[in-house]
């Protein structure tokens, strides 16, 4: 267990990366007693930097409301809380507002937001750096200019995304820009195909991770047929394909089958097998799986983070190992390895 001193020290450095100043207001948003130690440590860290800081703590939801859904928050419809958060310079989100309309509204006001969820050992191991930011932003430039993405693998993945409708989203673990959201412990670049213009097939192979299933590693091949932006068929023998199909069916929402964001991971400190060796794997949201260096992150479901209107509660992130990703014919990821010099990771560059 980390000490409060260790947490305050790390979170102070984190707030410095976010360029928190004495003139700013920091609000820590929490739910019930979840991550209460983080809330206290962030308040003390903000005080160390001379900022005005306070905590908004809301009543906890029923467990059934929280499990297996995204975009549904404990502050939905709570206008006093939402308006207060919009007045902050920086919100530390310990509750989890990803894919929610509330998050989008708060960030649209100019408030920057940092989502902090992971166990302390993950936050330490994946602590961000300006070098990571530079590599992610180089990827942002390439993805923003591209008009077609083609993903293949030796296992049979062959899918094409037409690009240009949606913005590019970056995650490098901190935020110092008004209105920007980030997730501490991550490192990736993402966008989405034009509505209705994603076609082909994706083969999920043994070792690939389905993040929503507590970072479960797939043991048997799953093949997804994609037509006009939707998964139309799920094939595969054994439990994995059936588990994925039945899980998606349980939402009774055809939008669950929509193709969502796509991109690649750039975090050198993250490992695709971290959940198998970490003592804290049951409390990790999956940043190691989502961000490990060289993965191609394929996803299904909501796209409100990128400006879309699909707010289905069913979301599946599936990082693919050993895939090849090309933008307008230029190889970006080659069989799980970065092919662009400006995005290559070296331990010397700190992530």
Instruction: Identify the residue whose tokens are 């509660």.
Output: 313
Between CA 344 and CA 317 the distance in angstroms is: 23
Positions of CATH 3.40.50.2300 in the chain? 4-116
C-alpha dist (Å) from residue 133 to 128, 138, 263, 350: 8, 9, 16, 11
pLDDT at position 238? 87
Q: Give residue 49's pLDDT.
A: 98
Distance CA 197, CA 203 (A): 19
CB-CB neighbours of 67 under 10 Å: 8
- pLDDT at res. 135: 97
Closest CA to 27 of 100, 115, 93, 71: 93
pTM, two decimal places: 0.93
pLDDT at 161: 98
Per-residue pLDDT at 351: 58
> What pLDDT shows up at residue 273?
85
**DSSP tag of 194:** P
CATH H superfamily, domain 4-116: Response regulator (3.40.50.2300)
CA 174, distance to chain mean position in Å, is 13
- SS3 call for 347: helix
pLDDT for position 296: 98
Query: Is the dihedral angle over the CA atoms 31, 32, 38, 39 positive or is it negative?
Result: positive
CA distance 262 to 285: 18
Q: Which residue in 12, 307, 293 sits closest to 136, CA to CA?
A: 293
DSSP H helical ranges for the chain:
4-17, 36-48, 63-66, 79-86, 101-108, 120-125, 130-145, 239-249, 274-277, 287-291
Strands (DSSP E) contained in 125-237 are 148-153, 158-162, 169-171, 181-183, 188-192, 198-204, 209-210, 216-217, 222-227, 230-235
Q: How far is CA 115 from the centre of its chain?
A: 10
- What does each C-alpha distance from 48 to 29, 52, 121, 348 come to in angstroms? 19, 10, 22, 30
Q: How far apart are CA 269 and CA 278, in angstroms?
A: 14
Mind giving me the DSSP string for 12-63?
A: HHHHHHTT--TT-EEEEEEETTTTHHHHHHHHHHHHHTT-EEEEEEEPPPPH
Task: List, run by run, the mean pLDDT of 10-residue segments along the chain (351 residues).
Answer: 95 98 98 95 98 96 62 90 98 92 96 96 95 97 98 97 98 98 97 98 96 92 98 96 96 97 96 76 74 97 94 95 98 97 81 58
Q: Write down the pLDDT at residue 86.
A: 98
């Amino acid at each position: 267990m980390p000490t409060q001193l260790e947490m305050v020290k790390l979170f102070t450095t984190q707030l410095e990366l976010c360029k928190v100043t004495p003139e700013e207001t920091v609000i820590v948003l929490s739910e019930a007693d979840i991550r209460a130690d983080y809330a206290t440590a962030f308040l003390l860290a903000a005080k160390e930097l001379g900022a005005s800081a306070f905590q908004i703590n809301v009543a906890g939801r029923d467990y059934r409301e929280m499990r297996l859904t995204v975009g549904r928050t404990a502050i939905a419809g709570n206008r006093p809380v939402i308006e207060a958060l919009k007045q902050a310079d920086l919100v530390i989100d310990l509750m989890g507002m990803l894919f929610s309309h509330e998050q989008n509204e708060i960030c649209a006001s100019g408030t920057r937001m940092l989502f902090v969820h992971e166990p302390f050992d993950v936050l330490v191991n994946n602590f961000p750096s300006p070098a990571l930011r530079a590599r992610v932003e180089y990827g942002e430039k390439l993805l923003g200019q591209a008009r077609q993405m083609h993903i293949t693998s030796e296992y049979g993945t062959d899918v094409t995304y037409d690009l240009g409708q949606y913005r590019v989203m970056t995650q490098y673990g901190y935020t110092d820009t008004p209105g920007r959201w980030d997730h501490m412990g991550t490192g990736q670049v993402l966008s989405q195909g034009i509505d209705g213009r994603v076609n082909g097939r994706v083969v999920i192979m043994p070792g690939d991770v389905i993040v929503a299933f507590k970072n479960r590693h797939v043991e048997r091949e799953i093949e997804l047929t994609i037509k006009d932006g939707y998964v139309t068929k799920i094939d595969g023998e054994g439990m994995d394909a059936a588990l994925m199909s039945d899980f998606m069916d349980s939402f009774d929402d055809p939008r669950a089958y929509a193709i969502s964001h796509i991109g690649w991971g750039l975090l050198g400190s993250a490992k695709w097998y971290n959940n198998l060796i970490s003592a804290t794997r049951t409390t990790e949201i999956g940043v190691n799986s989502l961000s490990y260096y060289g993965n191609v992150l394929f996803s299904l479901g909501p796209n409100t983070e990128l400006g879309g209107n699909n707010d289905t509660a069913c979301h599946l992130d599936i990082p693919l190992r050993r895939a090849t990703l090309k933008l307008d014919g230029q190889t970006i990821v080659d069989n799980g390895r970065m092919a662009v010099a400006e995005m290559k990771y070296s331990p010397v560059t700190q992530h």
